[in-house]
Chains A and B, each alone.
Chain A
């Protein structure tokens, strides 16, 4: 079985994150970068399966700026067998469509059984990549799984929705996305870190994949404005002088909350 895990380099949520106010893109200098935790959980799921089932191949795939190789290597240190890093200047500011197209092109190059992704990233919060990938790869999709069972020819799991929990399953090959309900990532040990230095990291460009970023026939998203989050304004304090109820009601009406 070959499992491909998508990981994403994101600004660490531990500190302040910034957007460049001229380009609207994440300011990667402003904070430390890490593998998004949900991607590490996805990798943990794949590795847990690989530990129990010999002959499982786990590969991580990432589309990230040039300097992200070190971050991706952490996935290898955790235990993935190989890594593919797609890096191209033309992918700067790539929208979801171009990102999915590029990732799909990279996945198509190899025979795969299962693609595991996180349900949503902490920086873009798009959550659309799994669906786009499944569409482009023409395979079944199961999103937002809070538990996963992988068997030889199928994958199944539970999928919490508003009205309850769905039990879903799909035949392989398939794309699944997981939620934070899955176990957290293992801590890379010394052996893993040493071994990671010898594992292959393939770096691909758009030309290698045959994807054109500026194809005028394809619709691409553009960003028109970006602004800093306004500072928190002081709230309104209502002191009860016998008419707090009325004041509260007035406040709600005034702010169209009633």
Chain B
């Protein structure tokens, strides 16, 4: 061993001793000139404080740490920690309440209670106001004249054909996964995997690949549905055929708001509010979602200058997401009303294809939900990657 003490640097663990531990360098390395140099020693925390405190030191006062090794400290014989470090130790900050998102648990509870109370109050006001409106002069005559539905043309057939039931099921399955994958695309920061088309082209998130692949299936499903809808003449169930549809819609809405709901005859004829909403969903919202989605996708011709000036991508981006919100709101109200207005009979209409009250439709509905849940569970990179590989290249970066 020589007589030169080892040069020491930053500690290897927070709050630890400078590294390497104090010691003497082997003699062959100790040149006389080096011996005369003053030692440089990094600061140490003498009392080995708790890790959290140490981190605070480092975060609060990086300049102190950064500049500290330049401070010449104890002589080689006594490599004791520099006392200056003690005075720099800040007081432990008060433990802050834990945040969930932007609020603490207490604040969240308060917010949720307030919102719930507000929602109930608003609903009560709405119902009372609606009931108040029905007492106004002329309103009951209006409700009598427009009971909420109008008679369909004589050619209209009752019931739901098998293809409508299947299209409805595929629509449930695809919509759930489309909304989920779309939301994943919107919120993900680092995609779990990427997909590149076989013919080459831009690399996209595997979630976006899933979203767009499902979109194509959904559009095919919708196209078949619409073609059969018009070919079978059943289109008049969901497309208004009379101006009476509009006052009747208003009437149905008012009746829903009074909680004195219009009588359900869904097997034969929807009320006008239903008809108008189904029309909006099938013929307005769905095409809107599709055309705005295509605009943002790689399918869109990027170089069509005039077209892109008329229809900029920002417009599509601004419409696509609210359209999804509309769909979600529609689905919530739709499902709520299906269950609130004779669940077993309604489920038999759309899933069983009959107008009777038994559990067949319910179990078919349950099976549809189970299949959809399985799809949700399976829609993960591990399962998607082998499928995506059939259509292109999958990579993790």
Contact = CB atoms under 8 A, between A and B. Distances in A.
Interface residues of A, number: 32
Interface in A165-211: 184-190, 193
A127 to B, nearest CB: 20
A20 B58 contact: yes
B198 interface: no
Interface stretch (B20-28, B235-243, B288-296): B20-28
A184 B26 CA distance: 47
Contacts of B70: 225
Contacts of B342: none
Interface in A55-113: 92-93
B19 interface: yes
B395 A227 contact: no
Interface string B62-97: 110111011000000000000000000000000000
A14 B188 CA distance: 12
B303 interface: no
Interface in B45-75: 54-55, 57-59, 62-63, 65-67, 69-70
Interface string A14-29: 1100001111110000
A115 to B, nearest CB: 24
Contact of A222 (B8, B14, B382): B8
Contact of A217 (B19, B26, B57): B26
Nearest to B43: A22
A22 B383 contact: no
Contacts of B396: 40, 184-185, 187-188
A94 to B, nearest CB: 9
Contacts of B190: 12, 14-15
Contacts of B25: 216
Contact of B65 (A12, A21, A25, A189): A21
Interface string B358-397: 0000000000000000000000011101100100001111
Given A21-B59, A184-B397, A217-B26, A222 B385 contact: no
A228 B10 CA distance: 15
A24 B24 CA distance: 24
B62 A187 contact: no
Contacts of B67: 225
Contacts, number: 92
B65 A226 contact: yes
Given A21-B59, A21-B62, A93-B19, A223 B26 contact: no
B12 A93 contact: yes
B42 interface: yes
Contacts of B65: 21-22, 226
A21 B386 contact: no
B394 A222 contact: no
Nearest to B60: A21
A138 interface: no
Nearest to B396: A187
A225 B8 CA distance: 11
Contact of B20 (A40, A220, A226, A227): A220
B11 interface: yes
Contact of B10 (A23, A188, A214, A216): A23
Nearest to B190: A14
A20 B57 CA distance: 11
B177 interface: no
Contact of A216 (B6, B13, B66, B189): B6
Q: SS class of chain A's interface: helix, strand, loop or mixed? A: loop
Given A21-B59, A21-B66, A185 B382 contact: no
A223 B9 contact: yes
Contact of A22 (B7, B14, B382): B14
B286 interface: no
A190 B382 contact: yes
Contacts of B383: 190
A9 interface: no
Contacts of A225: 10, 66-67, 69-70
Nearest to B386: A189
A6 B19 CA distance: 28
A203 B151 CA distance: 78
A216 B395 contact: no
B241 to A, nearest CB: 53
B197 to A, nearest CB: 16
B396 to A, nearest CB: 5
B386 A190 contact: yes
Interface in B1-43: 6-16, 19-21, 23-26, 40, 42
B13 A23 contact: yes
7 interchain residue pairs of minimum CB distance: A222-B9, A227-B66, A22-B58, A21-B58, A93-B12, A224-B69, A187-B394
30 contacts: A12-B190, A15-B189, A20-B14, A20-B58, A22-B54, A22-B55, A22-B65, A23-B11, A23-B14, A92-B13, A93-B19, A184-B395, A185-B396, A187-B193, A193-B382, A216-B20, A216-B23, A216-B25, A222-B7, A222-B8, A222-B19, A223-B9, A223-B10, A224-B9, A224-B10, A224-B40, A225-B67, A226-B10, A226-B65, A227-B63
Given A23-B12, A187-B395, A222-B19, 15 more contacts: A12-B190, A15-B189, A21-B62, A21-B66, A22-B54, A22-B57, A23-B11, A184-B395, A184-B396, A185-B397, A216-B20, A216-B25, A225-B10, A225-B66, A225-B70
